[in-house]
Structure 1
Amino acid sequence: MTALNDFIGRLDEVDALLRHVAPEVDTHSPISHEKRRPFSNSTLARSCTVLIVSYFEGFIKDLSDESLDNLIENQLPCSRLESHFRGYVLADHLKNLREGRDPSRDWIAMQRVMETAAFMNSGRVIEERFLPRRQIKRAVTSIDPKKINELFKIFGDSDLNRGPLSRYGERLKSLKNIRDNAVHGNEGDFDPLSLGDALNYLELLKDCASAMSDRMDLLLSSLHGQAAVTKYIS
């Protein structure tokens, strides 16, 4: 997927930055001594870690967009979409109803709920106007493992214990805490980061993103494969 390639390209930039500013972290570098610079290794590592996690969260947003594009490009019938996905389609309309701002707006919101539900229950091909892009990205664009799993659940993953977060979840939780404390000036709550830590986080998120991309490919292939079988039988 393009999202994965873009993410790895951004991580390569961070990797190049680390190795340029701190060549001693590269065991293959002819420079073995620590380069003198006007900031500590921990400051550089902390800054790069924040950048790495931000890029990873951007990857999740891009992955959700690419996955939705895939549904349109392959003309997936609405009947193949999971109830979790359909709930996101209705989310804003239901929110308007719950707010109960005035009777006329309630009626309009109810009409949109009925129209949307009728379309999503039909055998028609999904259309761009019904894709909940904003709602999904708002719900899943985070390194928080629960939010990442939500993305897979939206696309029909019924066995999250076998997904990427079963392998990476605990490490992502730890990295989230480190990033959050660094951003909010609470880095003193953790041991100082080393340059090796930053490189390890880079590799961790690269591996996790690759596993997430593979898992999403599998989910999308399953959706399209079942849709093709249904069309053939009918």
Structure 2
Amino acid sequence: MIFDQYTIPILIVFVASLLIQGYLSRTYGRWGNVRNSRNMTGADVARMMLDENGLRDVPVQMVPGQLSDHYDPIKKTVNLSEANFTTPSVSAMAVAAHEVGHAIQDKINMPALVLRGRMAVPLSIGMNLAPLLMLAGAFLHLTGLMWVGVIFFGFAMLFHLVTLPVEFDASRRALIYLNERGLSGATGEGQAGARNVLTAAALTYVAGFAMALLQFMQMLGWANRSND
């Protein structure tokens, strides 16, 4: 049950995920040392982008941690890590614009964002329970319990899938805004830097979905074999 045709692909994706995380750290660090063309902090960029999109009531807050930036659709706040909140770098500019992209999605009720929000809590619970249900079902020879685990993890895998268009769209909105407002610079260096930062971040979501899909296929195979 532990080793099958999905074991090696899962290990490959796991290693790829580590490499992608390293790439994100290097890319973010490189452009975190390059000032953007307007010398605006991430907080400045976020505030300007929010105001210009009719979101003046959405506050921009500083939160602890590195790359802990996120938009909270419940509290309606854009939360930036300390470095991105206070630094006038290309990385801070790109990350801040990306998070505001999520705020804009929330404003227009983007279907994928709404669906992801509704799925988040129950599916995070289901994803944690799925492996336990699979193991319990295998140990107790209860095929039905294993299939419940498969279904739980299947929905969790769909959560990763829905996340992809949400993140890609937020980055698209960010890059369009930065280019239209000239925040990327006339030489194109800042534009390339912002795109590199957001692309590196997007790859982490792609790797997350690939891992979830392979694990789902593996669990599906285990459940099928339990019927034999």
Same fold (TM over 0.5): no
Instruction: Work out which structure has the larger RCO, using CA pairs closer than 8 Å and 6 or more positions apart in sequence.
Output: 1
Name the structure where strand makes up a greater proportion of residues.
2
Larger of the two Rg values belongs to structure:
1
